[in-house]
Amino acid sequence: MSEFPQTVGAGRYAPSPSGDLHLGNLRTALLAWLFARSSGRSFLMRIEDLDRARDAGSAEPQLNDLRAIGLDWDGDPVLQSDRREDHEQAIATLQARGLVYECTCTRKDILAAPSAPHSPPGAYPGTCRDRTEEERAEARDRIAPRLPALRLRVPEATAAPTFVDQILGQTQGEIDDFVLKRGDGTIAYNLAVVVDDAAMGVDQVVRGDDLASSTPRQILLQRLLELPSPPDIKYAHVPLVLGPSGARLAKRDGAVTLRDLKAAGVKPDLVRAKLAQTLGLARPGETPTMAQLLERFDPPSLPREPHTWSEDLIASGT
């Protein structure tokens, strides 16, 4: 696999270039920076642009927004799309061990199929797992010109890995035969993130708690590929920012991006201050520097509940 400069350790932020970062994204990025810098790690940036169908060409504006609120990072941002060779090599390694199989199921097929007792909704029922080569060839013909996806054949009797999260505590999740590469050729998130974090020397992963359920899958891949895994990898899944309706923050909730707020006369330093306020790192009316935030940062004191964003929070400080 490709080599990156190795350090004592590294944290990272890895946005998808599918549009402007909203305040929830910026808050998570700020936390990732604080976790890394406060622990003496490097802080790296990776643009997760594998899904070209969702690539809005917004990587550079995203990086500009992160700089504007005070974040810096070590080295140049890594484009995930440049890492294809390593992703394919990881799949080949699993294939050589008999741990990959073709799947022709659609999402509709999976939802309609009977599931195993106690399986979570949407878990893959194993429809394509034990097909013969003849059956696989027939299935390929049926879906042509679409290609099959590739799934991980989770070894029998594999228990879902547990891990200690710095925010959530002891955490575990269900594992099914998940996708490694989609039928359109796109490498799946769970595979790419594991391979890339290992290659970049990342040993601290800070991201939204909506991704916590994916972590056991990633830990399993780390172990199967003989890559670092917990306790050598530290995870912190941080609470999301919600809109007034209680749903995840989105454009419909008003001025929620730095561009929106700039148009309304709100400066990035104030945005950073308000984000810090939601984390208990700043007092109302205060505009702390990044150095001050770093001095105050204390992971055990971080809020454990999602924050509901209100435009009043910004308006009250202008």
Q: Which residues are annotated as a binding site for L-glutamate?
A: 12-16, 48, 189, 207
Q: What is the CA radius of gyration of the chain?
A: 21
Binding-site annotation, residues for ATP: 251
Which residues have CB under 8 Å from 118's CB, separation 6+?
none
Binding-site annotation, residues: 12-16, 48, 103, 105, 124, 128, 189, 207, 251
User: What is the b/e burial string over 154-190, where b = at least 16 CB atoms within 10 angstroms of the residue's CB?
Assistant: beeeeeebebebbbbeebebebbbbbbbbbeeebbbb
Q: For the chain, what is the total number of helices (H) and then of strands (E)?
A: 11, 12
Q: Can you tell me the distance from the alpha carbon of 309 to that of 256, in angstroms, rounded to the nearest whole number?
A: 9
Q: Can you tell me the distance from the alpha carbon of 44 to that of 33, in angstroms, rounded to the nearest whole number?
A: 9
User: What is the b/e burial string over 5-20, where b = at least 16 CB atoms within 10 angstroms of the residue's CB?
Assistant: eeeebbbbbbbbbbbb
Binding-site annotation, residues for Zn(2+): 103, 105, 124, 128
Report the sign of the C-alpha dihedral through residues 271, 277, 283, 288, in that order. Answer: negative
Cβ contact 243:308 at 8 Å? yes
Which residues have CB under 8 Å from 70's CB, separation 6+?
268, 269, 272, 289, 290
Smallest Cα–Cα separation from 37: which of 76, 78, 75, 73?
A: 73
Chain centroid offset of residue 168 CA: 16
Cβ contact 14:197 at 8 Å? no
Q: Can you tell me the distance from the alpha carbon of 180 to that of 194, in angstroms, rounded to the nearest whole number?
A: 11
Cβ contact 18:47 at 8 Å? no
Residue 65: in which H helix or E strand, if any?
helix 59-68
